[in-house]
Amino acid sequence: MTSIYLASTSPQRRALLTQLGITFKVIAPQIREEHHSEASAPTITHLVRRNALKKAQEVARRLTEGLVIGGDTLVVTNRGKMLGKAKTSEEALVMLRLLSGTWHRVLSAVALVDAKTSTHKVAHASTIVFFRKVSDATLQKYVKTQEPLEKAGAYAIQGKGGFLVEKINGSYSAVVGLPLELVAELLDEFGIPLWNCWNKEESSRV
């Protein structure tokens, strides 16, 4: 059975892969993500795909075998402003004010790299998320929970931030952080059907 590695320390991505029943090990990528505040749609798509691939390739270079999964997620407002991860409460509040009462796009890429051959495949999902309008006081209360920190767009749809979301058009798992349908698709392209990854072992961390 091919060993699978996740090039991410994101709890959300770990939980999603575990949900798929995949046995994997986590290795943190040692790179800096590329983010820009504003860019055209094609540029943003290229950026999120490149970030995912760079993470997977960096980890793959430290291995002799196995398949490495990398991911990256970016939020883009309806005015074309790119939002990465909120680093501070102040930054999170600014992001949430931009998103409240309108729609935004979540771009989430996944890359798979064969550590032995360096062969790689990349895919991405684009999901539209509609936020309901909430009061500024409510946004401040949400920020105080600290959940928005280190989240793309300053919210977690799978957590308390779910109350902000009115509806989505596209992949739910992509908004969480990793499009599971694309993980399964790329595994198939590497000749590894998803069911072949299912067993009773729990995912572990290295």
Q: Identity (one letter) of the amino acid at 180?
A: L
Instruction: Give catalytic status of residue 72 as yes or no.
Output: yes
Q: Which domains does the chain have, with CATH numbers?
A: 4-205 (3.90.950.10)
**pLDDT above 90: residue 36:** no
Q: What's the confidence (pLDDT) of residue 204?
A: 42
Q: Mean pLDDT across the stretch 131-143?
A: 97
pLDDT digits (tens, 9 = 90+) for 94-129: 999 999 999 999 999 999 999 999 999 999 999 999
Q: Mean pLDDT across the stretch 129-155?
A: 97
Q: What's the confidence (pLDDT) of residue 206?
A: 42
pLDDT band at residue 188, thresholds of 50, 70 and 90?
A: very high
Q: Which of 72, 114, 136, 188 is catalytic?
A: 72
Q: Mean pLDDT across the stretch 6-13?
A: 94
